[in-house]
């Protein structure tokens, strides 16, 4: 089996492997013939892992377990999918911190050796600084933040299967969905049955009822609507064979023995009009059969178009009498008599137009991927306010290469008559264009797209394979609930970003100050244990960030890992922090004539106060006096600052190498901290995009 290219999405690799082995990705008819070989191209084989959609057969087992062809690709199916937006952002951030830490640690170690400090003490000092720069609470903060969001959504019936999906929710800027069940109620009901001329007729419904009653595949909502509409007496019919549905033919046929008929059987076909009408050579009008000429065909097409324009989903029903035998194939679906059409109504959800407006206002583009034709899609989209001025059909997609598809996928809002493979292509094209894509699906054919999307969303009543492939399960298919989940994801993203901005900027400033101080001080600017304690108290002040309030303005657009903002914060806010550290050094050495213990104490208190209280400024892109922090965050932040101020007065502080600072120095710390927060507020307005 040829290996899939490494850059190919996993799902495409699996499909390629499956097709190479002769295993079909979509339902096909398998027939016993004269073949006796066991190669992958033998059409009489049934492979392990195959789902039997319909029909009956007896099979002989020739291989089991890993010896089967299915077992040969089991490892591929179990392989990890490509990184999500959350994982990509986390990896980029980790590399940024790693590079910065290595440079600073090596610089400080070299300075210590150059200053002829004790090598072991210098090494411990450098390592302590590296630990101080690392946001070691990030896994905890991320887990708690995402878990809180997941628990909130669970109350609304949204089950988050994988925690990173919570943050990915906040990054979604394109949401793809089928029309049925999202824009519409998904409850099909028969609106009318008519012949090809549009005249009311019972014959199409009766034949469709027989077909739906005896088919053995998975019933669609259309089948359910037919069977629930009213009963038809099928006592005189016995099933002979079935030609199952597949997504390429888009039709299904059953072959029936009719009482009183000895030499012929009745083949009944139902499916998409575009699939059935070309096979018809006659139609049935008012109970009489007429050959289909150009005029009659045009009339049949016009009837279908008129029903579709009214927003009805149309099913074509046809039949033929055929010589009796035991096995039938797709080739027998020919020379059909078109009995007519059945129109199904699926009402638009009452609140969907308002929800779509809210999603658009919050920066989410909703794209419709449907198997219906463009007329039905256009009618429904007009009712709910979706732009259907540019509709792309499945036939259009087959003519586009990947580069062209990426452009089209961004521009068009509605895609009609798309196959499962084409849906997957659209997902991949959008991701390659830099979008974070969510996909709603509940059928077997939606599984590839659910896995390909950054966030796969399914519903509780979906097919097993769809639920397994999804990251999120909705108890009910509701765009309102989904919108709330997206906002909750943005809230989680916002709180994690607060931790990253605060941690990287303050930590970098402190590490930069220590690196510079170690170059001219005759002693270490702070003992390793004091550095770790300072960092520990600072981190404890942030443990309640997941509970913090998030500005409404922040929730109005998709939120992604913005490494440029993080890096700029680190490179600008960090040095501002260092300026106040250097001012503290000067005051301690030249105003208070500090010894080593007082220097350690003074800087410990000043650095803890500035880098902790700055959270109240960084936590919002707006005015910090108008954006209220949560009560828990306020308490923990002030408590940690209070502990830092009180610690030098305790016996534990003495053991840690602290001493009581003079009152005048504490007044200096208060003034310096206030000035520092004002400067950070000004710098923040330059760096942080206003939301």
**Could you tell me the CATH number of the domain that includes residue 363?**
3.40.50.1000
Which domain range does residue 41 map to?
A: 1-80
Q: What is the pLDDT of residue 13?
A: 45
> Is residue 92 domain-resident?
no
Strand partners, 633: none
> Is residue 600 domain-resident?
yes
Q: What is the pLDDT of residue 688?
A: 73
Q: Which one, of 450, 457, 454, lies nearest residue 474 by Cα?
A: 457
Q: Which of 415, 449, 484 is the last residue of a domain?
A: 484
Q: Indicate which CATH number applies to the domain containing 641.
A: 1.20.1110.10
Structure-token pair, residue 613: 């209280």
58 and 198 share a domain?
no
3 and 65 share a domain?
yes
Residue 184's φ and ψ, nearest 5 degrees, are -110, 170
Collect the ranges in the chain with pLDDT lower than 70: 1-44, 47-56, 66-86, 115-117, 125, 128-134, 136, 444-445, 689-691
Using CA atoms, how far apart are residues 288 and 598, in angstroms rounded to an integer? 107
106 and 165 share a domain?
no
Which run of H or E residues covers position 499? Answer: helix 479-520
70 and 41 share a domain?
yes
Q: Which of 445, 460, 484 is the last residue of a domain?
A: 484
Residue 190's φ and ψ, nearest 5 degrees, are -75, 125
116 and 265 share a domain?
no
| CA angle in degrees (0–180, nearest 5) for 276-277-278 | 95
> Is residue 143 domain-resident?
yes
> Is residue 86 domain-resident?
no
Q: What is the pLDDT of residue 102?
A: 78
Q: What is the pLDDT of residue 268?
A: 97
Structure-token pair, residue 639: 């408590």
Q: Which of 302, 319, 345 is the last residue of a domain?
A: 345
Q: Which of 72, 83, 173, 178 is catalytic?
A: 178
409 and 275 share a domain?
no
Q: What is the pLDDT of residue 1?
A: 35
DSSP state of 45: -
Using CA atoms, how far apart are residues 589 and 608, in angstroms rounded to an integer? 19
Residues 532-547 have pLDDT tens digits of 898 889 888 888 998 9
167 and 307 share a domain?
no
624 and 500 share a domain?
yes
Using CA atoms, how far apart are residues 386 and 388, in angstroms rounded to an integer? 6
DSSP state of 589: I
> Is residue 88 domain-resident?
no
> Is residue 353 domain-resident?
yes
> Is residue 91 domain-resident?
no
Contacts of 600 (CB under 8 A, 6+ apart): 525, 526, 527, 530, 657, 658
119 and 74 share a domain?
no
43 and 29 share a domain?
yes
Q: Indicate which CATH number applies to the domain containing 210.
A: 3.40.1110.10
Using CA atoms, how far apart are residues 211 and 190, in angstroms rounded to an integer? 16
577 and 602 share a domain?
yes
528 and 625 share a domain?
yes
> Is residue 293 domain-resident?
yes
Answer yes or no: 424 catalytic.
Answer: no
| Strand order through the sheet with 174-177 | 158-160, 472-474, 455-459, 437-440, 174-177, 365-369, 414-416, 391-393
User: Number of structural domains, the chain?
Assistant: 4
Residues 423-449 have pLDDT tens digits of 888 988 999 898 999 998 877 667 778
DSSP state of 224: H
> Is the Cβ–Cβ distance between 45 and 24 less than 8 Å?
no
Residues 637-690 have pLDDT tens digits of 999 999 999 999 899 989 999 999 999 999 999 999 999 999 999 988 887 765
């Amino acid at each position: 089996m040829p290996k899939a290219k490494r850059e190919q999405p996993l799902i495409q690799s699996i499909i390629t492997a499956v097709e190479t082995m002769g295993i079909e990705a979509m339902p096909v008819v398998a027939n016993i013939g004269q073949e006796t070989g066991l190669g992958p191209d033998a059409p009489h084989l049934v492979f392990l892992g195959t789902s039997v959609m319909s029909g009956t057969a007896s099979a002989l087992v020739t291989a089991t377990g890993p010896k089967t062809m299915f077992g040969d690709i089991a490892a591929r199916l179990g392989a990890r999918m490509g990184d999500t937006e959350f994982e990509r952002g986390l990896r980029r951030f980790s590399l940024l911190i790693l590079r910065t830490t290595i440079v600073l640690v090596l610089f400080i170690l070299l300075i210590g050796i150059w200053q002829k400090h004790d090598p072991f003490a210098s090494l411990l000092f450098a390592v302590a600084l590296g630990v101080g720069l690392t946001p070691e609470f990030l896994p905890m903060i991320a887990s708690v933040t995402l878990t809180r969001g997941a628990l909130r959504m669970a109350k609304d019936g949204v089950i988050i299967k994988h925690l990173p999906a919570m943050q990915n929710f906040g990054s979604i800027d394109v949401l793809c969905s089928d029309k049925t069940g999202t824009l519409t109620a998904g409850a099909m009901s028969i609106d009318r049955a008519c012949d090809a001329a549009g005249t009311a007729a019972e014959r199409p419904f009766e034949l469709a009822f027989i077909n739906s009653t005896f088919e053995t595949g998975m019933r669609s909502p259309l089948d359910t609507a037919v069977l629930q509409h009213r009963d038809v007496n099928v006592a005189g019919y016995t099933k002979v064979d079935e030609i199952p549905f597949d997504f390429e033919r888009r039709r299904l046929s059953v072959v029936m023995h009719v009482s009183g008929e000895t030499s012929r059987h009745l083949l009944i076909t139902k499916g998409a009009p575009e699939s059935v009408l070309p096979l018809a050579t006659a139609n049935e009008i008012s109970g009489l059969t007429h050959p289909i000429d150009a005029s009659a065909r045009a009339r049949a097409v016009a009837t279908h178009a008129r029903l579709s324009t009214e927003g009805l989903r149309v099913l074509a029903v046809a039949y033929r009498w055929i010589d009796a035998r035991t096995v039938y194939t797709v080739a027998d679906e020919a020379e059909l008599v078109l009995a007519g059409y059945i129109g199904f109504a699926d009402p638009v959800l009452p609140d969907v137009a308002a929800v779509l407006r809210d999603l658009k206002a919050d920066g989410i583009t909703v794209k419709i991927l449907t198997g219906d034709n463009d007329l039905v899609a256009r009618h429904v989209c007009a009712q709910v306010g979706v732009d259907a001025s540019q509709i792309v059909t499945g036939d259009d997609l087959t003519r586009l290469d990947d580069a062209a598809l990426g452009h089209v996928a961004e521009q068009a809002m509605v895609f009609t008559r798309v196959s499962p493979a084409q849906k997957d292509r659209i997902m991949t094209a959008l991701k390659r264009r830099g979008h974070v894509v969510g996909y709603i699906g509940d059928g077997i054919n939606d599984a590839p797209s659910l896995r390909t999307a950054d966030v796969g969303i399914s519903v509780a009543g979906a097919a097993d394979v769809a639920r397994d492939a999804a990251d999120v399960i909705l108890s009910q298919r509701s765009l309102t609930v989904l919108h709330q989940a997206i906002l909750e994801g943005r809230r989680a993203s916002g709180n994690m970003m607060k931790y990253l901005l605060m941690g990287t900027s303050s930590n970098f400033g402190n590490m930069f100050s220590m690196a510079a101080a170690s170059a001219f001080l005759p002693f270490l600017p702070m003992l390793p244990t004091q550095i770790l304690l300072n960092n520990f108290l600072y981190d404890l002040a942030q443990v309640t960030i997941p509970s913090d309030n998030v500005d409404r303005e922040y929730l109005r657009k998709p939120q992604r890992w913005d490494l440029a903002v993080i890096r700029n914060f680190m490179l600008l806010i960090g040095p501002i922090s260092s300026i106040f550290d250097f001012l503290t050094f000067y005051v301690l050495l030249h105003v208070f004539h500090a010894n080593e213990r007082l220097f350690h104490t003074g800087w410990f208190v000043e650095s803890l106060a500035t880098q902790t209280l700055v959270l109240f400024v960084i936590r919002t892109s707006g005015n910090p006096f108008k954006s209220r922090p949560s009560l828990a965050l306020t308490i923990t932040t002030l408590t940690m600052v209070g502990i830092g101020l009180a610690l030098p007065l305790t016996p534990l502080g003495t053991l840690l190498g602290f001493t009581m600072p003079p009152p005048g120095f504490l007044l200096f710390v208060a003034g310096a901290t206030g000035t520092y927060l004002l400067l950070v507020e000004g710098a923040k307005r330059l760096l942080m995009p206003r939301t």
